[in-house]
Chains A and B, each alone.
Chain A
Amino acid sequence: MLKYIARRILHLIPVLLVITIILFAMLQIMPGDPVNAYLGIGSNATVEQQQQIRELLGLDEPLPVQYFSWLKRSLTGDFGTSYKFRKPVADVIGKYIWNSFYLNVVAMIFAFLIAIPVGIKSAVKKYGLFDNFWTVFSLTGVSMPSFFFALILIFFVAIPSKWLPLNGMRTTIYLAKGYDSFGQEVLDVLKHMILPVTVVTISSLASLTRYVRNSVIEVINQDYIRTARSKGLSEKVVIYKHAFRNALLPIVTLLGMYIPGLFGGSILLETVFIWPGIGHVLFTSIGDRDYSMLMAANTFYAILMLAGNLLADVSYALVDPRVRVK
């Protein structure tokens, strides 16, 4: 098993390298001069000073040299300095991923808590009223543009309620004077989380219920379930003890795949809700021409994606030994 994991990781290294080269090339064709971005708007630096900064940032080197020096520094954990935050990029990412994580983890807990019972019930009474309702629900959930759903919730729920915040993560007054207690801070953040969590939950619920339903249906069609039924076991025991336990394997696999994704925020949602997560940082760093930040954030998303795929493969291999032999 360890050999299999090691092989998979080795396999991912060239993939990640090629992705970073593509990302690096992408930055080179972006408009604007990073030196100007570094100086900020309204600077009156002379041409010589600009040249000095260019040399300081290593921007006068040929591109391959720049890429390899980026790669070498990145491997030691140094992703450069964010022009906008004036802080090491790694620190900025390290801070903002947690905001995305809080949002996603709460949404994921809700989504799994709802999807598992709903999926089982839909599978047991396939094409019944309950199943059909959730089929329509999933389809609408998948088809709803998340940003539009968010706008609708803000407009029809948050504004009339006069209590739910429209966006952000903390109330402005507290940002200025600080919280009185930790409990107050938690409550304030939770209040701001209600709407974004609703949107993320519903959009992940849509595919999740279908997934649980289909894996339970697949198990129910197996011979051993027929055996269990013909033994005269009660339907409850058949479903929960025999069917669900086996259907749990693909669901756990899916859970593993979800974990890395929890650290990557949705760019659209975080933009609509002005939620200070990594997706929002990535989007604003495009406008700010914050190149080191953009490069690191994109690489970070790529690593999350690869880690998700890796976890999926590894957990499949754990569940199904045949995969490992290949």
Chain B
Amino acid sequence: MAEKKAKTARKKRAVGPWQIAFERFKKNRVAVVGASLFIIIVLSVIFVPMISPYEISEFNLADKEQAPSSAHWLGTDEQGRDVLLRLFVGGRISILVGLMAASVSVVIGSLVGGIAGYYGGAIDNFLMRIAEIIYSIPFTPTVISLSAALMWRVSSEQKMYFVMLLIGILSWPGLARLVRGQILSLREQEFMQATEILGISDRSKIIKHLLPNTLAFIIVSATLGMAGAILTEAGLSFLGLGVTPPTPTWGNMVERARNTNVFRNMQWLWIPPGVMIMLTVVSINLLGEGLRDAFDPKEIR
């Protein structure tokens, strides 16, 4: 049904592939729910801390360890800090780390994949060998050991940047392989012969003509990669090897549950951040799957 409509739409006026994808995405109800949920989460982590009557650095030992009430909707922690505020400020950091880690991985992955696919030969061999090595490094044990090795040199505020880089640098090979494969097949097509005749430089051939054609893959991979990165950061911070307090993230807020007293008696400290991680990752995954279906050329034609 969606295909038919897309076809008639194309006949009426010139519709680009991006518009087709957008139309298809809008019709996918699950994907729209995912996208809306994600937008709501992003807006609330931005605005809730602004309208909160509390300050993130504010603590009040007289009010510590209070159960949820009208003054503190999600209670307070052992230093009397408002959990609701920390939850949304933590969300800013968790989402930002996920976004930046995915960006690092997308930039490295698409450049390496693009260069390897375009030049081929020795360069391709060399770059893909590096990709294979990084791909074969066992992800979780290495991330954990590397954080432990480097964390002590990094101050608490800088740890989030460190975690972004670490996750990004270890997770690009999958995308690089994908982009390389795409470029290999695109390189043989006629429009690339045209760029050859026009004498366009290699750099703009790769960046202006080849990579945009793989953009659909890159966007999907970036979305799903962001979901993965948020989970990785949460896991690392849960083990105490990611972003550490006083900077809140959802992962290090759940980490409080490793204390038996908090785990058994103060659920308001660890259940809400865990639920937020899940909601965010579900919404991003729904969005990513929806984008994948919307871009899928097999279903457009």
How far in angstroms is the closest Cβ of chain A from B122?
Answer: 16
Expressed in whole angstroms, the minimum distance between the Cβ of B130 and any Cβ of chain A is 9
Query: Which of B136, B138, B254 has the largest number of chain A CB atoms within 10 A?
Result: B138
A18: which B residues are within 8 A, CB to CB?
133
Given A143-B227, A298-B142, do A155 and B267 touch, yes or no (CB 8 Å)? Answer: yes
Interface size on B, residues (CB 8 A): 38
Q: Which of A196-221 contact B (CB under 8 A)?
A: none
Residues B138 and A301 in contact, CB atoms below 8 Å apart: yes
B256 nearest CB across to chain A (Å): 11
Q: Which residues of B contact A147 (CB under 8 A)?
A: 234-235, 238, 254
The verdict on A5 contacting chain B, using a C-beta distance below 8 Å, is no
**How distant is the Cα of A23 from the Cα of B137 in the complex, in angstroms?**
9
Could you tell me the distance in whole angstroms from the C-beta of A166 to the nearest C-beta in chain B? 10
Q: How far is the CA of A268 from the CA of B133 in the complex (A)?
A: 24
Query: Is the beta-carbon distance between A15 and B133 smaller than 8 angstroms?
Result: yes
Contact of B238 among A19, A22, A155, A268 (CB under 8 A): A268
**Is the CB of A283 closer than 8 A to any CB of chain B?**
yes
For residue B282, which residues in chain A have a CB less than 8 angstroms away from its CB? 139-140, 143
For window 140-185 of A, CB contacts with B under 8 Å fall at 140, 142-148, 151-152, 155, 159
Q: Could you tell me how many residues of chain A have their Cβ less than 8 Å away from some Cβ of chain B?
A: 42
Q: Is B274 an interface residue (CB 8 A)?
A: yes
- B88 close to chain A: CB less than 8 A: no
B145 in contact (CB, < 8 A): yes
CB-CB contacts of B236-275 with A at 8 A, as 1s and 0s?
0011010000000000001001000001100100110010
Bound CA–CA A146/B239 (angstroms)? 13
Residues 1-44 of chain A, each 1 if its beta carbon lies under 8 Å from chain B, else 0: 00000000000000110110011001101110000000000000
Known: A27-B149, A267-B239, A298-B142. A15 touches B132 (CB 8 A): yes
- Distance A322 CA – B132 CA, assembled complex (angstroms): 22
Q: Which of A140, A145, A301 is close to B231, meaning CB atoms less than 8 Å apart?
A: A145
Is A148's CB under 8 angstroms from B254's CB?
Answer: yes
Using an 8 Å CB-CB cutoff, how does the interface string of A99-115 with B read, 1 for contact, 0 for none? Answer: 00000000000000000
Residues of B within 8 A of A243 (CB): none
Instruction: List chain B residues, Cβ under 8 A from A53.
Output: none
B278→A282 contact, CB < 8 A? no
Determine chain B's interface SS by DSSP, over half rule: helix
Interface flag for B285 (CB, 8 Å): yes
Chain A positions within 8 Å of B271 at CB level: 152
B270 proximity list for chain A (CB < 8 A)? 151
Complex Cα–Cα for A16 and B132 (A): 11
Task: Please tell me if the beta carbons of B150 and A29 are within 8 angstroms of each other in the complex.
Answer: yes
Distance in angstroms from A8 CB to nearest chain B CB is 12
A139 touches B285 (CB 8 A): yes
Task: Write out the residue numbers on chain A whose beta carbons fall within 8 Å of the beta carbon of B285.
Answer: 139, 142-143
Bound Cα distance from A18 to B137, whole angstroms: 10
Partner of A306, one of B136, B144, B234, B235: B136
- Judged by a CB distance under 8 angstroms, whether B141 is at the interface is yes
Collect the chain B residues with CB atoms within 8 Å of residue A292's CB.
none
Separation of A271 and B149 alpha carbons in the complex (Å): 19
- Does A118 sit at the interface, judged by CB under 8 A? no
| Residue of B whose beta carbon sits closest to that of A147 | B238
Q: How far is the CA of A326 from the CA of B259 in the complex (A)?
A: 55
B217-241 interface mask toward A, CB cutoff 8 Å, 1 = contact, 0 = none?
0000000000100010011001101
Contacting pair A298 B148 (CB below 8 A): no
Partner of A298, one of B138, B264, B267: B138
Q: Say whether A286 faces chain B, with CB atoms less than 8 Å apart.
A: yes
Sort A-B residue pairs by CB-CB distance and give the 10 closest, nearest first.
A301-B138, A148-B274, A143-B281, A143-B282, A30-B149, A31-B152, A286-B148, A301-B141, A305-B138, A29-B149
16 A–B contacts from the bound complex (CB under 8 Å): A15-B129, A16-B136, A22-B137, A26-B146, A139-B286, A143-B227, A143-B281, A145-B274, A145-B278, A147-B238, A148-B278, A151-B263, A152-B271, A267-B141, A301-B138, A301-B141
B residues at A contact (CB < 8 Å): 129, 132-133, 136-138, 140-142, 144-146, 148-150, 152, 227, 231, 234-235, 238-239, 241, 254, 257, 263-264, 267, 270-271, 274, 277-278, 281-282, 285-286, 289
